[in-house]
């Protein structure tokens, strides 16, 4: 068995491009004959009104401890989804409170597994929830778009394996043992995100290049490669960046956990956790979590095939949206205009604007919660894909912010897609809690102009906080921050692999667009644990002036920055502005800046 990297070491070899041609993508297969979750019907709607509540469709599967052949059912879903990276299958596997024995739930693409209790201890597996990388020859860098939530695990061999990359959240989990974040054989890995979880044993990331853990508890943390960030984590290692590269904040400035579906007696409800400030540890460790519940009857339960007009009609009636697994084609934006609206996805439902529309727009109102879905750019260029607040939004939402959680955006990969700016945050005080905004570097419809996408995330609002910001491969700026008093805890980026030459990324007299640019007029901003990598494999001679660009002002402070050249495919001249040593050679060793200024 290969020896895993030690703390602070580089991976065993330069990470390969993700532009591999992946064969045998699984096609979507109806889930006929599998158990289906139904909610109690709400009161009959008024004439012409859309009903709330109801059946959740064939791709939401519910189990209780007496369900026959649970292992066979989850194995069948995994068989369909294991290598279906750009397939159309979407599944949610939901487990009623109780104890399940001898179960190994392997989780593939577009599959969510979750307990239906109010706390993780309500649903207990004497078994595992596993992600490995056998489908990709032990390389876990493409284990995207899957999740685990709200379960207690007693791993069979004492350690659960969760070898994931981006867009694979691990929330509200209690592991009665250890957690291994690397694939079998310690191959390449590029994740990841944990929140509101307790791991009694040690977490072993081994070859994971970066990771962010928030408001959790761990029994230990055994390794670091480039960038490991913790906020509000009991048992986290002491801050020591850059050697080993641990960034540790005692608390998270503001957090509000993701909404989730649960079972209250015979009734399905959605729990809305309350906002916390300076949070540390889990929300559930001291008993019932704090927040409020909404009955399923207050949600329009959307099925694939429903159009944007129907979704908007439901929202206009005052219903929230529960998006069941599948793909939704939109000819106009979904318009969220009412304060405190919840849009919650199960099994990563995917919104596709077909005619250049914006997929979703949120008004400048309090307390909207967006969670658990994917937006996939369509073949006609969209000016934006997600807008939180209109241009010029100015309301104060400090007491009740909008949250964007496990909302992922993709341009290309499943087919040609284009978008000028993917995510625009105009509303003040918005919380972005775990997003992966990705211009595809592999799959179908990929090329410098084929899936053109100039900007990833643009923040215009003030007092916006991002916890777990993953943004990659955009033609120009990956993140452009224009609002005041913004904060980011953990940032992961790769510059676009496929730039054809130096001229294609020239930014005036600057070589390349920064991965994370703070606008010149900003006077206050702060960030912790920020990394940018380059892999210019089309033209390895490309030089990037810096990964980060920021104004030289007393209120602009960045902590623990790094840039990395992957295998010498392109190089950085500096880390931030003209500060920091250049990268060089093929050794894949980071250049770091501990503090800016």
Question: Active-site positions?
Answer: 494
Strands 510-511 and 548-549, by their bridges, are unpaired
Report how far apart, in Å, the C-alpha atoms of 498 and of each of 19, 30, 449, 574 are: 10, 36, 10, 21
Q: Is the Cβ–Cβ distance between 575 and 589 less than 8 Å? A: no
**How many CA atoms does the CB half-sphere of 61 hold within 13 Å?**
26
Cα–Cα distance measured from residue 246 to residue 239, given in angstroms and rounded to the nearest whole number = 5
Q: State both tokens at 535.
A: 């892999």
Instruction: Tell me the C-alpha distance between 311 and 372, whole Å.
Output: 17
Structure tokens at 369: 């919660």
In 3D, which of 104, 333, 366 has the Cα closest to residue 256? 366
Listed residue (207, 232, 241) closest to 468, CA to CA: 232
Q: What gap in Å lies between CA 88 and CA 28, rounded to an integer? A: 5
Who contacts 529 (Cβ-Cβ below 8 Å, separation ≥6)?
212, 227, 228, 229, 241, 247, 489, 490, 491, 559, 560
201, 196, 157, 151: which is closest to 176 by C-alpha? 201
Angle, CA 404 vertex, CA 398 and CA 406 arms, to 5°: 145
Name all contacts of 594-597 with Cβ < 8 Å and 24+ positions apart.
594/241, 594/242, 594/559, 594/560, 595/557, 595/558, 595/559, 595/560, 596/548, 596/550, 596/556, 596/557, 596/558, 596/559, 596/561, 597/552, 597/556, 597/557
Please list, in sequence order, all residues whose beta carbon lies within 8 angstroms of the beta carbon of residue 514, skipping any fewer than 6 positions away: 477, 546, 547, 548, 549
Closest of 263, 258, 257 to residue 117, by C-alpha: 263
The DSSP H or E segment spanning 308 is helix 308-316
Which two three-digit tokens encode residue 57? Answer: 């469709």
Q: CA 196 → CA 283, 371, 372, 386, 483, distances in Å?
A: 6, 15, 16, 26, 28
């Amino acid at each position: 068995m290969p020896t895993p990297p030690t703390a602070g070491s580089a991976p065993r070899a330069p990470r390969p491009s993700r532009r591999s041609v992946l064969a045998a993508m699984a096609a979507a297969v109806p889930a006929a004959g599998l158990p289906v979750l139904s909610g109690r019907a709400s009161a009959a709607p008024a004439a012409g009104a859309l009903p709330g509540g109801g059946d959740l469709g064939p791709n939401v599967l519910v189990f209780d401890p007496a369900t026959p052949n649970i292992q066979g059912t989850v194995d069948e879903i995994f068989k369909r989804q294991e290598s279906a990276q750009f397939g159309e299958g979407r599944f949610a596997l939901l487990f009623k409170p109780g104890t399940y024995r001898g179960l190994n739930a392997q989780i593939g693409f577009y599959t969510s597994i979750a307990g239906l209790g109010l706390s993780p201890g309500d649903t207990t597996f004497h078994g595992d929830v596993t992600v490995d990388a056998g489908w990709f020859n032990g390389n876990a860098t493409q284990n995207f778009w899957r999740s685990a939530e709200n379960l207690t695990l007693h791993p069979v061999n004492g350690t659960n394996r969760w070898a994931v990359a981006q867009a694979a959240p691990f929330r509200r989990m209690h592991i009665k043992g250890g957690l291994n974040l690397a694939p079998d054989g310690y191959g390449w890995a590029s994740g990841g995100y944990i929140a509101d979880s307790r791991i009694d044993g040690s977490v072993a990331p081994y070859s994971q290049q970066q990771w962010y853990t928030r408001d959790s508890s761990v029994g230990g943390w055994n390794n670091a490669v480039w960038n490991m960030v913790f906020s509000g984590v009991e048992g986290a290692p002491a801050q020591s960046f850059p050697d080993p590269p641990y960034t540790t904040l005692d608390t998270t400035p503001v957090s509000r956990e993701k909404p989730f579906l649960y079972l209250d007696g015979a009734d399905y409800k959605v729990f809305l956790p309350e906002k916390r400030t300076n949070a540390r540890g889990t929300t559930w460790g001291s008993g019932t979590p704090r927040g409020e519940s909404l009955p399923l009857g207050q949600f329009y339960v959307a099925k694939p095939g429903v159009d944007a007009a129907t979704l908007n009609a439901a929202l206009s009636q005052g219903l929230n949206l529960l998006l069941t697994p599948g793909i939704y084609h939109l000819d106009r934006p979904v318009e969220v205009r009412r304060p405190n609206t919840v849009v919650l996805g199960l099994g990563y439902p995917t919104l596709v604007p077909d005619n250049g529309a914006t997929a979703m727009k949120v008004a400048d109102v309090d307390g909207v919660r967006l969670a658990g879905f994917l937006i996939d750019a369509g073949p006609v260029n969209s000016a934006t894909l997600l807008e939180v607040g209109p241009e010029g939004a100015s309301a104060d939402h400090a007491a009740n912010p909008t949250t964007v959680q496990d909302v992922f955006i993709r341009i290309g990969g499943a087919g040609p897609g284009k978008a000028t700016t993917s995510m625009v945050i105009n509303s003040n005080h918005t919380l972005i809690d775990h997003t992966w905004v990705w211009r595809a570097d592999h799959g179908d419809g990929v090329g410098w102009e084929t899936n053109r996408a100039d900007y990833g995330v643009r923040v215009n609002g003030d007092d916006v906080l991002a916890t777990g910001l993953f943004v990659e491969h955009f033609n120009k700026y990956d993140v452009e921050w224009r609002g005041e008093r913004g904060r980011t805890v953990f940032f992961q980026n790769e510059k676009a692999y496929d730039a054809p030459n130096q001229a294609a990324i020239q930014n005036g007299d600057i070589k390349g667009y920064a991965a994370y640019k703070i606008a010149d007029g900003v006077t206050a901003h702060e960030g912790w644990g920020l990394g940018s990598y380059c892999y210019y494999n089309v033209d390895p001679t490309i030089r990037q002036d810096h990964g980060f660009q920021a104004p030289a002002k007393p209120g602009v402070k960045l902590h623990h920055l790094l840039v990395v050249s992957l295998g010498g495919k392109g190089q950085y001249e500096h880390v931030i502005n003209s500060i920091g040593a250049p990268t060089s050679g093929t050794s894949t060793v980071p250049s770091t800046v501990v503090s800016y200024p």
